[in-house]
Structure 1
Amino acid sequence: MGLSAFQMVYWKACHLPVEMKHKALWALKFLNFDPHETQTKRRNQLLELEEMQLHAYDSSRSYKEKVKLYHDRKLVKIVFNLRQQVLLFNSRLKLFPRKLKSKWLGPFGIKRVFPNGAVELENPNDDGQQQSWVVNGERLKHYLGGEVERFSKVMMLVDP
């Protein structure tokens, strides 16, 4: 029949590891490959790949630095002084959006300015006491006058 016992039972050819090694050596001899030459060629390819990775990493880092410089150049540093009137951005408004509602609350007085950009605000209560809390300076803008919605509860202003 021309089939081995293994082929008759499992309906496929059986390849032993010795045969595979022999076929690989036969292919090397047949194609006239020098194992040392292919080894050095593969090592050179790996070195070139590593060099390309390093070049891609350097170009990515330089691109990120350029984008950061461009972004930082566009930023405007706002300086706040003590007793100055400011408006606070209401970040909770997006939970209950109202089309014509102001996104800014205040005016509030500045009690203290920290070097890291945080600002302590103060708000007089209805009972005459001063409430104060610390917010990020980027959530503030200068108050120039006019009507702004005021809240008596400070807890609505502070994010959880």
Structure 2
Amino acid sequence: MRLQAYENAVIYKERTKRYHDKNLVRKEFYPGQNVLLFNSRLKLFPGKLKSKWSGPFVVKEVSPHGAVELQDSGSSQTFKVNGQRLKPYKGGEIPTERVSLVLNDP
């Protein structure tokens, strides 16, 4: 009975892994492409309306193990990040200025 329970657990894990892996989307990056970088340090500054994505950055080099070297579009500074923290940039303007609104009591 114990052996059968172990086999059922193995089958369940394989089916669950197949189900989750089926929904994963592979991201392909190439040099010269514009990408956005996920800002994971945003938790230190609570704010509902802050954007979690920064950029756009230009891809300089892609390594086979998933690391991507980025270049800031405003300067020539380069740095390496994990490819899972990136998403392709489709275009358009990203507002960088901060807007404040003062509410007055009536």
Measured against the shorter chain, the TM-score band is 0.7 to 0.9
**What amino acid maps onto 2:8 in structure 1?**
S
- In the TM superposition, what is the alpha-carbon distance from 1:61 to its structure 2 partner? 1.0
Is 1:142 the counterpart of 2:88 in the alignment? yes
Identical positions, percent: 55
Provide the residue aligned with 2:67 in structure 1. Answer: 118
Residue number in structure 2 paired with 1:106? 55
Which residues of structure 1 form unaligned runs of 5+? Answer: 1-51, 151-160
Secondary structure of the residue aligned to 1:122 is strand
Moved over 2 A (4+): none
Q: RCO (CA 8 Å, sep 6+): is it higher in 1 or 2? A: 2
Over aligned residue pairs, what C-alpha RMSD do you find?
Answer: 1.7
Alignment TM-score, normalising by the size of structure 1:
0.55
Partner of 2:28 in structure 1? 79
Q: CA deviation at 1:140?
A: 0.5
- List gaps (5 residues or longer) in structure 2: 98-106
User: What is the aligned residue count?
Assistant: 96
Aligned to 1:61: 10
Q: Distance in 2 between matches of 1:57 and 1:115?
A: 37
Higher percent of residues as strand: 2
Report the residue type matching 1:80 in the other structure: F
